[in-house]
Amino acid sequence: MKNHGNFLTILIFLLIPLHVAMAGVIAKVDYPVVEEGDMVTYSLELSGSDISRPKILRLCDSDVISTSSQTSMQVINGDFTKSYILSYKFLPQKSCTIKPASVEINGKEEFSNPVKVTVKKVTGAKDKDFELLLQTDKKSVYVGESFNVTLLFKQKPNSRAVDSKFVPPELKGFWVKSESKPQRYQDGIYSITKIVYILAPQRVGKLKITKAQMRIASRVNVRDNFGFFNSNIRWKTYFSNELSIDVKPLPSGVSLVGSFSISASVDKDSVVANEAVNVNIKVLGNGNLEDIESFKPSINGVSVFDEKIQIKGKELSQKIAFVSDSDFTIPAFELKYFDTNTKKIKTITTNEINIKVKNTKPKQKLEVKRDNSSDEKLVVKSSKVENESSGFDKIILVIVLIIGVLIGFLLSKVKFSNSSTKKEVKVSIKEPKKLLVKLLPYKDDEEVKKILDNIEATLYSSEKLDIDKKVLKEVLKRYKLD
């Protein structure tokens, strides 16, 4: 009986490889029964002289994580044969049967055998070596409202992990405003790694934060075909919980949500004509600072230049420059938002800032008088010399005329001297601030306006615009500024 048993065992052992060798495609998995999170390797053994490798991207409704292959070649009785082993690693989320794979071998379509995979619930969940959790401080928020999501990874100190890979949760529909650096601390028997995300929802509705994953490679002892134990690396994935966030719409008329404060400070409140006044605006608080637009105001007779808004953490700042040749008032800066604490719309403002400008040019008013004659002619000044004036009056008039001529001659000399002095003060494109001050009185000229815009962009923003030197030279000559 023993001899017959040994003979049957040997016969079966010999027949199995023969069956395998005859088959074109054989499919198998390394672990047909696994727990949730266990990695499974699906293999296809292919043999033939001309093989087209199949493209497999998903198995058991799960994405293929990685692929590998082994190739061997042999010649039997003059026939050349190739053999392949194609491996696909995946994480099955539920029990399933992998359908037969289609492979073209030697010009003929071949099919593998179906393979069943059974996924069981994790045993000993209360005493796991690793655990991954997602927590949030708010489950109901408004569009744009900031909230925290905390990720905790727990690990026992004696766990046998040789490698790991973290897969963060998907945050579709959220702005990620910040992500903290990992913090590590001890809590009981667990070593904990903590990461905090600050998020803000982009749209209304039920938004989900998917499961985070931590893939851990551990050493396990595996019995081989001869009954010996070998040390091997096995990957297992630990999943966190999911989070569901209820996002509500903001009241009409507001786009900001949170809790804020605003302030505005000026570097000086008294300047000379056409000297820049710089205002620094700051907004502090929790909320969607990134949705705040420029505070740049419009003031008649004042040139205003705004810099790009800067955001660092919970602080927003913006610098704005004002240039004028007469006194002006910087209006109050306003911020309107929905307060999450009081559930009401709030409006906060800064104070107005009055700026005194020295050396202002007096504005000349033309006084127009109306002649009382019947034809109602408009005259600036009217003087009447009667025909009946005496000879003495005529002599006085001549003396006055002579004195007027002498005064006019002296004034022309003084004017010529002043104009010569002005010509000595030259301005250059290399001194944009002086050039800006000199050209501001002539800003109604189109060519001057273009030059001023280029100078202002260079001085008060990051833009670098070229100035046509030929046009600049003509303008300076036209207004005797060269």
**Percent of the residues in the chain that have a pLDDT greater than 90, as a whole number:** 37
Domain 257-358: which CATH class? mainly beta
- In tens, the pLDDT along 322-363 reads 999 999 999 999 999 999 889 999 999 999 999 999 987 665
* Range with the poorest average pLDDT among 228-237, 274-283, 315-324: 228-237
Higher pLDDT, 183 or 19: 183
Domain 21-120, CATH: 2.60.40
Over the stretch 196-231, which tens digit does the pLDDT of each residue have? 999 999 999 999 999 998 888 877 766 655 556 666
Mean pLDDT over residues 70-84, rounded?
A: 72
State pTM to two decimals. Answer: 0.55
Mean pLDDT on 301-319: 94
In the chain, where are the structural domains located?
Answer: 21-120, 125-248, 257-358, 418-482
Domain 21-120 and domain 125-248, same fold? Reply is yes
Are 319 and 278 in contact, with CB atoms under 8 Å apart? yes
Return the CATH number of 125-248, one of 2.60.40.10, 2.40.160.20, 1.10.10.60, 3.50.50.60: 2.60.40.10
Query: Residue 83 pLDDT > 90, yes or no?
Result: no
**pLDDT value of position 345:** 95
**Which pLDDT belongs to residue 51?**
80
Is residue 9 predicted with pLDDT exceeding 50?
no
Q: What is the pLDDT of residue 142?
A: 94
Q: What is the mean pLDDT of residues 374-381?
A: 44
